[in-house]
Amino acid sequence: MTNAQRAVLMLRLAAPLQSWGGPSRYNRRETRPQPTKSGILGLLAAADGRDREAPITDLVGLQLGVRIDQPGTLLRDYHTYSDHRGIPLPSAKTNARGEQTRTTPAKYTGITQRFYLQDAVFVAAIRGHKTLLESLEEAIRHPVYPLSLGRRSCPPTGPVSLGLRPDTELENALKEEPWQAGPHRRNQARDTVVSLEATVEDPTGDHLCVDVPDTYDLKTGTQFSRRTVRHLWITLPTDHTPAPHHATDTGSAGQSGHDPFALLGW
């Protein structure tokens, strides 16, 4: 495939809550610190109007890079649940007739825990065949099904698509896209540049991610395969004007210019 046949689709993934599930199941659902390939491909499939049983071979072949523009913070959502009729909760087991059995000993209250990323912002670079990406970019702007960032309860904030870019390496695409952090994070930045963590698919990479889905069909279940990624740091301008340097009296309290909280991002 020539460069003219390929392109890069840039996405901005921002929301009050995001959750990019890993291998966790049942009553404890964790989130990874950045979007998974499974989650992003699911978003593209939903925008394109694909049913869960539809093939996703063309999507799996896309290359993915992710930049963490605003890491956010971790939120634990703790729930208890019970049957309003006061009867024991059903167990995960079924009898010979396929009916769920009751818990033994009887269990009347269950606990679930869900983990989310609060106020996080990511930039995703998706590289592949230009015709496919043009179709997906249009679908992102006019989605058939509602878009969500990892879970249905996590709709994105603002436009998701940043547009199509000419073909280039994923690392270059992430270096060329301006910083997408929110106003609060931008106001915290004190320097003229910011260093951002990023991950790109690379056959020579040093880390394996088990997040490549074969299907989203609930009847058969999803099997995940591995991909190789490489971690890197990307330096971008913050568009801040450097503060003028003034000589100060280091012996006077509050006059030295020394900020012990600067490294904490305060």
Which residue's structure tokens are 């993934």? 13
Give the pLDDT of residue 253.
43
65 within 8 A of 209, measured Cβ to Cβ: no
Q: pLDDT value at position 93?
A: 75
- Which residues make Cβ contacts (< 8 Å) with residue 2, sequence separation at least 6? none
- The SS3 of residue 41 is helix
Q: From first to last of the 266 residues of the chain, give the pLDDT tens digit.
A: 677 799 999 999 999 999 998 666 667 888 999 999 999 999 999 999 999 999 999 999 999 999 999 999 999 998 888 888 988 888 877 778 778 777 778 888 888 888 999 999 999 999 999 999 999 999 999 999 999 999 999 999 999 999 999 999 999 999 999 999 999 999 888 899 999 999 999 999 989 999 999 999 988 888 999 999 999 999 999 987 665 555 444 444 444 456 665 555 55
Residue 160 CA to residue 152 CA, distance in Å, equals: 15
**The predicted structure's pLDDT at residue 229:** 97
pLDDT of amino acid 255? 46
CB-CB contact of 184 with 50 (8 Å): no
Burial class (CB in 10 A: 0-12, 13-18, 19+), 249: exposed
Whether the Cβ atoms of residue 169 and residue 38 lie closer than 8 Å to each other: no
CATH of domain 3-74+118-240: 3.30.70.2660
pLDDT reported for residue 162: 98
pTM of the predicted protein model: 0.82
Domain boundaries, the chain: 3-74+118-240
Q: What pLDDT does residue 262 have?
A: 56
Query: Rounded CA gap, 76 and 116, in Å?
Result: 7
> Cα 48 vs. chain centroid, distance in angstroms?
19
Length of the chain (residues): 266
The SS3 call for residue 137 is helix
d(CA 221, CA 215): 7
Are 11 and 162 in contact, with CB atoms under 8 Å apart? yes
Q: Is the dihedral of CA 29, 32, 35, 41 positive or negative?
A: negative
Q: What is the pLDDT of residue 56?
A: 95
| pLDDT value at residue 258 | 62
40 phi and psi angles, rounded to 5 deg? -70, -40
